[in-house]
Amino acid sequence: GLLKLAPSTLWWIHNIQGITKPAIRRLCERRGGVKRISGLIYEEIRGVLKVFLENVIKDSIMYTEHAKRKTVTAMDIVYSLKRQGRTLYGFGG
């Protein structure tokens, strides 16, 4: 099973509002070349980001548990991203 975590450890899952409008705007402008953003898009982006992060974290924990460790490493994250078809370069391996 997943690492034994207290519900309070996963506070960030319920705090997706911490991803602010300005942060989303910066990502869209810098990474996507977006000029204008509809006001309705922010909640949609937060929802998609939450699902993405949940999947990456679950996979990372799976790799951590398989290695019989309690600490998630950068490589666990890299392997998790690779498993989801999003190869990340520059972190070893």
Q: Is the dihedral of CA 29, 34, 39, 40 positive or negative?
A: negative
CATH code for the domain of 44 = 1.10.20.10
The pLDDT tens digits for 27-73 are 999 988 899 999 999 999 999 999 999 999 999 999 999 999 999 99
pLDDT at 8: 60
Contact 52, 85 (CB under 8 A): no
Contact 12, 18 (CB under 8 A): yes
* Overall number of domains in the chain: 1
| Whole-angstrom distance, CA of residue 50 vs CA of residue 46 | 6
| Whole-angstrom distance, CA of residue 52 vs CA of residue 25 | 18
Evaluate whether residue 24 is within a structural domain: yes
Evaluate whether residue 18 is within a structural domain: yes
pTM of the model: 0.76
| Whole-angstrom distance, CA of residue 1 vs CA of residue 54 | 15
Evaluate whether residue 3 is within a structural domain: no
